[in-house]
Structure 1
Amino acid sequence: MPKGKGAKGTKVTVKIAKKAIRMTPDGRRRLTLSNMGITVFPKCLLKLTNVDELDLSRNLIQKLPENIGNFSSLRWLDLHSNKLESVPESIGNLAGLTHLNLSNNRLTSAALPSTLGLLTNLKSLNLGMNQLDDLPPTMVALDSLQELGLFDNLFISLPEFVKVLRSLTKLNVKRNPLLYVQGDGEGTLKEKPEEDVYLVHESSLCRTCLKRCKEQTERLTRGGGGGGGGGGGGDAFEEKRIRTYSGLMAPNSVATVNQDVWRIKKLEHKPIK
């Protein structure tokens, strides 16, 4: 961890940032400043115009600079697990962006700018684990979007335009209070049935998520902590034990390092095993 960490968090300089740049297998320049206690977006990063990918995940950043749209070379931006409460309108200037991860922040629907609809090259957008109940209608223009994460939010219903995103093949809406309309026209709040298994390697989880998932796994392998006994309970617990995997955690965390292997529900296909 760089020197200079104190009450105001880690101070990142251009020199530190340049040393953290690595080449990806496909020849892109990736700057990784994850889990460094950064509280303020380092504006010096905007000087690194040759960076294609930026990872500032697992920090304490509350606000993005208004001129983040000047980062015109970015193709991949990961800001998951921070404390963001808003997204500046200038993010719409990142026309080349293909992957954007804003999950596990403090975003409300009012904090999402309409300019998200300008990111027409976006293929993957992760908005899970926020406080969203709606999306900007301008997002209907995201014709290239293939993956959309909306899990662990406040959606009672999904925006109609989600159904017409022509490239969308993966959608995760788990753990939202979705309103299901019954035959008599009246709706009741129900949780969506657990249909799929979501797995990531435990090394991809932040400390909090890893602890929570291990506790859940222990409860399952002990029989869920339920009242013991005979009957068919043993079979049910055995089935749950079968669905645990060494080194992998379920359900999936937003803290996966590489969104290229992000596992989410695949529409109109069999569950991912």
Structure 2
Amino acid sequence: MAKGKGQKGKKITLKIAMNSIRVAFDGGLRLDLSKMGITTFPKCILKLTDVDELDLSRNMIKKIPSSIENFQKLRWLDLHSNQLEELPKTIGTLQNLFYLNICNNKLTTKNLPEELNLLKNLHILNLGLNCLDSIPTSLGALKELRELGLFDNALTTIPNSVKKLPKLKKLNTERNPFPDSTKQEEHADPIKRIETLYLVQEKDLCCSCLKMCQDERDKLKKLNNMTPSPSKKPSFPLLLTPNSVAKDNQEEWRLSSEHP
């Protein structure tokens, strides 16, 4: 039984986990344990390793165990918005992984396993909102990668091996302390940025994100207050409304029908 606790202090049991399995759009099995208040990886889900998708996002998990390698069928893994400081090396054994989101955690470059370069079928990788000061050149081995999120880190450069990935279409490097932003933009020009929208409640936002949202909302309110009021709606008293015409015509038809 898992040590992780969900809302109201309830433990994540095998029964709860089984009831959280859904059928994905493509017919695969999706285990959704997002936003459950889990602090420890639930060991009970190791009995459900036949799922195709695993969502543990928006929890408070600090560590993913090496036993994640048991999920060999996994194609979709979402760990965003936790408190992860490292990833196990065994994550590189998930050869079927297509999507990996580890955005908004506490990952550093030192604790980013080199084994990520073994995920040969990976199409989407999101590393945004972490504590990365550099990107391993070994990620250039991900030849199938289409989308890469590196925004809101401490990066000063992007390796050529990553920028020149043959199938990379979307790259988001915004809000990194690049020494020459113009030069970075030149490299990013042919690559579209990742634009992902997450809808969350205010209580799930960190202090800085909440303040930023509140500031933007205040700006929007001020802008709306400055917008001139619309002019008075024009009226056309001489025009008959369609209903009045229809009513007159209907009355004429009724009278003519009654008195042929």
Q: TM-score, normalised by structure 2?
A: 0.73
Structure 1 residues 50 and 197: alpha-carbon distance in aligned structure 2, compared to 1, 3 A threshold? closer
Moved more, 41-50 or 111-120: 41-50
Separation of aligned partners in 1, 2:34 and 2:25: 19
**3-state DSSP of counterpart to 2:116:** helix
Separation of aligned partners in 2, 1:140 and 1:63: 26
Structure 1 residues 6 and 72: alpha-carbon distance in aligned structure 2, compared to 1, 3 A threshold? closer
Structure 1 residues 114 and 205: alpha-carbon distance in aligned structure 2, compared to 1, 3 A threshold? farther
Structure 1 residues 122 and 44: alpha-carbon distance in aligned structure 2, compared to 1, 3 A threshold? same
Alignment partner, residue 96 of structure 1: 96
Separation of aligned partners in 2, 1:217 and 1:167: 35
Structure 1 residues 204 and 148: alpha-carbon distance in aligned structure 2, compared to 1, 3 A threshold? farther
**3-state DSSP of counterpart to 2:180:** strand
Alignment partner, residue 169 of structure 1: 169
Structure 1 residues 93 and 198: alpha-carbon distance in aligned structure 2, compared to 1, 3 A threshold? closer
**3-state DSSP of counterpart to 1:27:** coil
Structure 1 residues 118 and 182: alpha-carbon distance in aligned structure 2, compared to 1, 3 A threshold? closer
Pick the structure with greater CA Rg: 2
Separation of aligned partners in 2, 1:54 and 1:213: 30
Separation of aligned partners in 1, 2:27 and 2:34: 21
Separation of aligned partners in 2, 1:53 and 1:14: 17
Separation of aligned partners in 1, 2:181 and 2:136: 24
Separation of aligned partners in 2, 1:206 and 1:101: 22
Ranked by relative contact order (alpha carbons within 8 Å, sequence separation 6 or more), the top structure is 1
Separation of aligned partners in 2, 1:212 and 1:123: 33
Is 1:19 matched with 2:19?
A: yes
Q: RMSD in angstroms over aligned alpha carbons?
A: 3.2
Gaps of 5+ in 2: 184-191, 229-260
Alignment partner, residue 205 of structure 2: 208
Separation of aligned partners in 2, 1:109 and 1:45: 29
Alignment partner, residue 249 of structure 2: none
Task: Report matched runs for 1:103-252 at 5 Å.
Answer: 103-180=103-180, 198=195, 200=197, 202=199, 207-208=204-205, 211-212=210-211, 214-222=213-221
**Which amino acid in the other structure matches residue 97 of structure 1?**
L
Q: What's the CA shift for 1:217?
A: 2.5
**3-state DSSP of counterpart to 1:18:** helix
**Which amino acid in the other structure matches residue 140 of structure 1?**
G
**3-state DSSP of counterpart to 1:218:** helix
**Which amino acid in the other structure matches residue 174 of structure 1?**
E
Q: What's the CA shift for 1:181?
A: 7.7
Q: What's the CA shift for 1:140?
A: 1.1
Q: Deviations over 1:86-105 (max 9, x none)?
A: 00100000000000000100
Q: TM-score, normalised by structure 1?
A: 0.70
Alignment partner, residue 266 of structure 1: none
Q: Deviations over 1:210-249 (max 9, x none)?
A: 744541332332558xxxxxxxxx8xx99xxxxxxxxxxx
Structure 1 residues 181 and 223: alpha-carbon distance in aligned structure 2, compared to 1, 3 A threshold? same
**Which amino acid in the other structure matches residue 200 of structure 1?**
L
Identity over aligned residues, as a percent?
49
Q: What's the CA shift for 1:201?
A: 6.0
Separation of aligned partners in 2, 1:97 and 1:197: 19
**Which amino acid in the other structure matches residue 172 of structure 2?**
N
Alignment partner, residue 255 of structure 1: none
Structure 1 residues 180 and 6: alpha-carbon distance in aligned structure 2, compared to 1, 3 A threshold? closer
Separation of aligned partners in 2, 1:181 and 1:93: 36
**Which amino acid in the other structure matches residue 215 of structure 1?**
Q
**Which amino acid in the other structure matches residue 78 of structure 2?**
D
Separation of aligned partners in 2, 1:79 and 1:146: 19
**Which amino acid in the other structure matches residue 37 of structure 2?**
G
